[in-house]
Amino acid sequence: MHKAQAIPVLAGAGMGTMMLSMLHRQIMSGNAEALAPILLFVGLHILAVVGLVLLPLVASAKLRARLQRLHRPDARHLLLMLLGAIPSAGVLHLYLHGLGH
């Protein structure tokens, strides 16, 4: 696996573990305390995506040229992140519930 493939997989593994932690806390708590971190996490990601979509539309020509050189994830990148997130969250979930022993 090349570095360009390993980084999204590792990032996805970290994100999958974090999301599992947040969702599990919300489901198991029975109250709304854990709802705020989940809404903040999802809301910030939505704002980031909207910002990344709108920024090139309102940017100057010079800034648009610089944005072209930045990292913009494609479908392959997102798939690699999911390939890291799903197994890591699944294994952690099974381990925490005692199914991994």
- Does 101 reside within a domain? no
Q: What is the pLDDT of residues 15-26, one digit of tens each?
A: 888 878 877 777
Mean residue pLDDT across the chain: 78
- Does 62 reside within a domain? yes
Q: What is the pLDDT of residues 43-96, one digit of tens each?
A: 787 788 777 777 777 777 777 777 677 766 777 887 888 888 889 888 888 888
Greater model confidence, 53 or 7: 7
Residues 95 and 36: their CA atoms lie apart, in Å, by 26
- Does 19 reside within a domain? yes
Give the 3-state secondary structure of residue 32.
coil
- Does 52 reside within a domain? yes
Looking at the whole model, is its pTM more than 0.75?
no
- Please give the tally of structural domains in the chain: 1
Q: What is the pLDDT of residue 100?
A: 56
Largest CA distance in the chain: 58
Q: Which domain holds residue 36?
A: 3-96
- Does 79 reside within a domain? yes
